[in-house]
Amino acid sequence: MKQQSENANKSFEDIKHKDKEGREYWYARELQAVLDYKEWRKFETVIEKAKKSCENSEISAIDHFVGSDKMVEIGSGARRIKKDYKLTRYACYLIAQNGDSRKKVIALAQTYFAIQTRKQEIQEKEYSLLTEDEKRLYQRNLTKKGNYSLNHTAKKAGVKNFNQFHNSGYKGLYNGETADDIAKRKGLRYREEILDNMGSEELIANLFRISQTEQKLKREEIQTEKEANQTHYEVGTKIRNTIKELGGTMPEDLPTPKKSLKQLEKETKKNRKIS
């Protein structure tokens, strides 16, 4: 049962998407497959029940069940509309609550989305109370996990030169700058980690680059190193353009913290020993 739970959680994570603002969502058609519903007609009935549950809680269903219809070819040049939804985590939770309780995967989904929703509530509340250095540490841990996962996906896509791969992403996000260029601009010592010398805002931009690159590599089933590098560059460029369109500060113009995270961690350990 434990193994089945882990597999289900992995499936829910695998079909998770993020928009330009970093908000998570799931496509109903993809969720349908994971929840083992063979027919869209039956699954749509569950969606309608979930929407009603949402409205009964005096929460706007439109905000959680966003129409995302697509035009698909059905042969001989003919096309038709394929109905779909972009679902928030809360919408997925309601769908699981209204699903066929005889399915084991439904029970797993109920638990998964209930726990993840609660985690998000706690994280958002706690994150707002963190100091800037604490936010940096939190975001840095996420980038470490993100890069580990990205490297795994990139390897499957054919990447062998990981320095070149990561520099492709940096070049897109930092207007042509490589990791070495960023380190020199920040005045860092040789081999000092640039991500340890970023503020929380800069780390968030890089985390978005990392997560979106991994999703794109998977979604488009990239199979060559050249394509993977180009994908990373394009994602970095698009994120940079989005920051510009929103009137944000370009990553290279964000201030470098006075102390690196390594230095802060050493000071924290030293203070603990003294106390």
In sequence order, the 6+-apart residues with CB closer than 8 A to the CB of 46 are 37, 95, 98, 99, 100
pLDDT category of residue 201 using cuts at 50, 70 and 90: very high
Report the pLDDT value the prediction gives residue 111, as an integer from 0 to 100: 73
What per-residue confidence (pLDDT) applies to 273? Answer: 59
Report how far residue 55's alpha carbon sits from residue 49's, in angstroms, rounded to the nearest whole number: 10
The pLDDT of 215-240, averaged and rounded, is: 94
pLDDT tens readout for residues 49-69:
999 988 887 888 998 999 988
| pTM listed for this prediction | 0.58
Burial label for 16, CB within 10 Å (0-12, 13-18, 19+), is middle
Alpha-carbon distance 67 to 87, whole Å?
9
Domain boundaries, the chain: 2-127, 132-260
pLDDT of the residue at 71: 79
